[in-house]
A and B are shown apart, each in its own frame.
Chain A
Amino acid sequence: MSKKITIEPVTRVEGHGKVTIKFDDAGNVEQSRLHIVEFRGFERFVQGRPYWEAPVLVQRLCGICPVSHHLAAAKALDVIVGAGTGNGLTPTGEKMRRLMHYGQFFQSHVLHFFHLVSPDLLFGVDGDPAIRNVIGVAMKHKDLAVMGVMMRKFGQEIIAATAGKKIHGTGAIPGGINKHLSIAERDSFLLGADPLNIDKMIEWAQAALDFLKDYQKKNTDFIDNFSKYDSNYLSLVRKDGALDLYHGVLRAVDANGKKVLNDVDYQEYDKYISEEVRSWSYMKFPYIIDQGKEKGWYRVGPLARLNTADFIPTPLAQKEFEIYKAYTNGKPNNMCMHNHWARLIECLHAAEMIKVLLNDPDLLSGELVTKGTKTNRGVGLIEAPRGTLFHHYEINENDQITKANLIVSTTNNNEPMNRSVNNVAKSYMNGKDTITEGMMNAVEVAIRAYDPCLSCATHALGKMPLEVTLLDANDNLIDRKRS
Chain B
Amino acid sequence: MSEIIKIVIDGKEIEATKGQTILQAAVNNGIYIPTLCAFDGIKPKASCRLCTVKVNGRAMTACTTPATEGMEIENNTAGINEIRKAIIEAIFVEGNHFCPSCEKSGNCELQALGYRFMMMVPRFPYSFPQRPIDATNPKLLLDTNRCILCLRCVRGLKDENGKSLFAIKHRGVHAEIVMDHEVCANISDEMAQKAMNTCPVGVIIKKEKGFDEAIGTRKFDKQPIGHEIENKFNQGGN
Contact = CB atoms under 8 A, between A and B. Distances in A.
A58 B217 CA distance: 23
A50 B216 CA distance: 24
A398 B205 CA distance: 13
A49 B216 CA distance: 25
Interface string A171-205: 10110001100000000000000000000000000
Contact of A399 (B103, B135, B211, B216): B135
A356 B79 CA distance: 57
A50 B141 contact: yes
A56 interface: yes
B135 A178 contact: no
A60 B100 CA distance: 8
Given A399-B135, A400-B133, A400-B135, A165 B211 contact: no
B210 interface: yes
B101 interface: yes
A52 B133 contact: no
Interface centre among A60, A168, A173, by most B CB within 10 Å? A173
A53 interface: yes
B123 to A, nearest CB: 24
A48 B100 contact: no
Interface size class of B (residues with CB under 8 A): 10 to 19
Interface size class of A (residues with CB under 8 A): 20 to 34
A173 B208 CA distance: 10
A173 B136 contact: no
Given A53-B103, A56-B101, A60-B101, A169 B215 contact: yes
Given A57-B101, A60-B101, A399-B141, A165 B215 contact: yes
B213 interface: yes
The secondary-structure label for the interface of chain B is loop
Nearest to B217: A179
B190 interface: no
B184 to A, nearest CB: 14
Contacts of A178: 211-214
A55 B100 CA distance: 11
B54 interface: no
B214 A179 contact: yes
A48 B133 CA distance: 8
Nearest to B207: A399
Contact of A50 (B135, B212, B213, B214): B135
Interface centre among A48, A170, A174, by most B CB within 10 Å? A170
A168 B100 contact: yes
Nearest to A50: B141
Given A56-B101, A399-B135, A400-B133, A50 B205 contact: yes
A148 B83 CA distance: 47
The secondary-structure label for the interface of chain A is loop
Nearest to B132: A48
Interface in A102-153: none
A164 interface: yes
Contacts of B216: 164, 179
A143 B133 CA distance: 54
B133 A53 contact: no
Given A60-B100, A169-B215, A53 B136 contact: no
A48 B214 CA distance: 25
A398 B207 CA distance: 10
Contacts of A55: 211
Interface string B110-148: 000000000000000000000001011000010000000
Interface centre among B205, B213, B215, B217, by most A CB within 10 Å? B215
A170 B214 contact: yes
A206 to B, nearest CB: 33
Contacts of B100: 56-57, 60, 168
Nearest to A171: B214
B136 A52 contact: no
Contacts of A173: 210-212
B211 A170 contact: yes
A164 B136 contact: no
Interface string A40-55: 0000000011101101
The 7 closest A-B pairs by CB, nearest first: A164-B215, A52-B210, A57-B101, A179-B214, A398-B135, A170-B211, A178-B214
30 contacts: A50-B205, A50-B207, A52-B209, A52-B211, A53-B103, A53-B210, A56-B103, A60-B100, A60-B101, A163-B215, A164-B214, A168-B100, A170-B211, A170-B214, A170-B215, A171-B214, A173-B210, A173-B211, A173-B212, A174-B208, A178-B211, A178-B213, A178-B214, A179-B217, A369-B212, A398-B135, A398-B136, A399-B208, A400-B133, A400-B135
Given A53-B210, A178-B212, 17 more contacts: A50-B141, A52-B208, A52-B209, A52-B211, A53-B103, A56-B101, A57-B101, A164-B214, A165-B215, A170-B211, A170-B214, A170-B215, A173-B211, A178-B211, A179-B216, A398-B136, A400-B133
